Chains A and B, each alone.
Chain A
Amino acid sequence: MNQLLYTRLELLRTVRNRRFFILSFGFPLIIYLLVAAPNRHVHDIDGTGLSAPLYFMIGWASYGTMNAMVACGARIAAERQAGWTRQLRISPLSPRAYFRTKVLTAYMMALISLLVLYVAGVCLGVSLSAGGWLGMTGLIIVGLIPFAALGITLGHLFTPDSIGPAMGGGVALLGLLGGTFFPLGQHGFLPELAQFLPSYWLVQASHVGVGGHGWAAKGWIVIAAWTLLLSALAVRAYRRDTGRV
């Protein structure tokens, strides 16, 4: 058995889907430039203590990476419709290896998306220490785990026809309520609610970039809880999904 070759071909296959590849990086990049460029001299946006280019860089990077992670569901839905998932089930590929490969391709796309936004941020004057960049990226990588599970779950529940709205709507809603697109302010119901969403903590990773603290204990707990919940749902969806689609 040669899992490395299998994974390499799966990654190659993902990159070869040019339209998906370009759209998933191009869209957040363009919006980021449109939103952040006019505000590039704002040093503290809405009392967050973050400059506008940094805040929006992380916001749109969150959006792009969330989408990139969840998009593994679209590939799964297409594979299911082709009957390929059934073909894999009658091969020695273990469910564990199947999930690992899916998560790896999702992370590959997410990291490319992140890099694209980082480069755009630097062009708009975002300047962080090496430790700041690394700490921030590390937290984002951890914060994306639940989204991989979300993508796999959706992929095994929806058909290729219906998964687009499910993914787009889900990510947009999580982004809106998590402060991905604009700051939520300090008081009221929305900021309270946001703290229970994984999307909120993705954006909070930006504070590490400027030398602030990492996530509060609450952040780690929220991410862990979503990871457990969505992983359980993903496994359940995968197990139940043995029929012909």
Chain B
Amino acid sequence: MSATVAPGQPRASAPDIELCGLVKSFSGPQGPIRAVRGVDVRIAAGETVALLGPNGAGKSTTIDMLLGLLSPDAGSVSVFGHPPSQAIARGAIGAMLQTGALIRDLSVRELVEMMASLYPAPLDVGEVLELAGLGDVAAQRTQKLSGGQTQRVRFAVALVSNPELLVLDEPTVAMDVEGRRDFWRTMRSFAARGKTVLFATHYLEEADAYADRAVLMAHGRIVADGPTNEIKAMVGLRTIRATLPDVDSGALAALPGVTGVERRGEAVVLSCSDSDAAIRALLAACPQARDIEIAAAGLEQAFLELTSEDPAGEAEAEAAAKLLGA
């Protein structure tokens, strides 16, 4: 199976991977949990896309539907023009799922060989072990590996299938800093062969550094989708915190670069799209401001800014609608 598409040059035809109107609910103790509420994503061959969102955003559920492990309540999935089951049957998808250990009583090499044997055009097992940094532990039994090594084996299993689409669900969670760097280097070199890569993460830095494009998810929906630098600008918000009593919140909200104001007793917290402009304007307007701190807002807060609807209010509205319907 040779690569036919150069990186960064998606085919002009229909999108190669298409998630269309995906909806999925699970039953929970307090009624249904709407994990995914209408997700549309199109990915062209050769793209590296980050699915970015806080925990509970619906990333894993979306990936499970992409892989055919879950069937959507509504919507459709198409992978290279086929339903997921067919794409999987011809070995077009390799995946590293979020949770997972390894089966025991095999050596690392044997386990990777075992999985390679299932695919029509696997990569060379020795080469993959080297790529994944497993050369030294190839002869070790899988039950004797550390958490980081286990993750590498799971990555090797996904790679050895030589897939056209590589799906990674929060792949670096159990890895140390060095392990992460090696991991992403390997992923990049694989993507450079013209492969399509979709990875889920809740780290903005990972999306920024390793993806061409980021799809932002929150509360089961896509809230933004674009080149990573744009997304970074959108969610790379900063906050300014200052002790500033007796100043009207409305006046502060009108300052340039400020998108939101929250008063906490004597202090105010300004959410800023442009903290440089905001701090200059703030000091000009209110020279008495003190204890000033400027900090990068967490991804969670950025998502709250982006998803202007209040999720709690929405849940109440849903509950009311259900009562009326019943």
Partner of B93, one of A2, A5, A9, A90: A90
The reply to whether A1 and B118 contact each other, CB–CB distance below 8 Å, is yes
Interface size class, chain A: 20 to 34
Q: How far in angstroms is the closest Cβ of chain B from A94?
A: 7
Q: How far in angstroms is the closest Cβ of chain A from B168?
A: 12
Cβ-closest chain A residue relative to B94: A90
The reply to whether A87 and B114 contact each other, CB–CB distance below 8 Å, is no
A12: interface (CB < 8 Å): yes
Among A64-72, A76-84, A150-158, A162-170, the stretch that binds chain B is A76-84
Q: How far in angstroms is the closest Cβ of chain A from B1?
A: 13
Q: How far in angstroms is the closest Cβ of chain B from A161?
A: 15
Beyond A82-B101, A82-B102, A84-B103, whether A92 also contacts B117 by CB under 8 A is: no
B100: interface (CB < 8 Å): yes
Cα of A65 to Cα of B88 in the assembled complex, Å: 36
B91: interface (CB < 8 Å): yes
B119: interface (CB < 8 Å): yes
Cβ-closest chain B residue relative to A18: B105
- Neighbouring A residues of B99 by C-beta, 8 Å: 83, 244
B280: interface (CB < 8 Å): no
The reply to whether A92 and B119 contact each other, CB–CB distance below 8 Å, is yes
Cα of A3 to Cα of B115 in the assembled complex, Å: 10
Partner of A86, one of B93, B97, B104: B97
Interface centre among B69, B114, B120 (most CB of A within 10 A): B114
Interface centre among A5, A83, A91, A244 (most CB of B within 10 A): A91
A93: interface (CB < 8 Å): yes
- Neighbouring A residues of B216 by C-beta, 8 Å: none
The reply to whether A91 and B115 contact each other, CB–CB distance below 8 Å, is yes
The reply to whether B103 and A94 contact each other, CB–CB distance below 8 Å, is no
The reply to whether B117 and A1 contact each other, CB–CB distance below 8 Å, is yes
Beyond A1-B117, A12-B106, A13-B105, whether A94 also contacts B89 by CB under 8 A is: yes
Partner of A1, one of B104, B114, B120, B157: B120
The reply to whether B91 and A90 contact each other, CB–CB distance below 8 Å, is no
- Neighbouring A residues of B118 by C-beta, 8 Å: 1, 6, 91-93
Cα of A82 to Cα of B150 in the assembled complex, Å: 12
Q: How far in angstroms is the closest Cβ of chain A from B150?
A: 10
The reply to whether B100 and A5 contact each other, CB–CB distance below 8 Å, is no
List 5 contacting pairs A-B, 8 Å CB cutoff, sorted by A. Answer: A3-B117, A5-B117, A91-B88, A91-B91, A92-B90
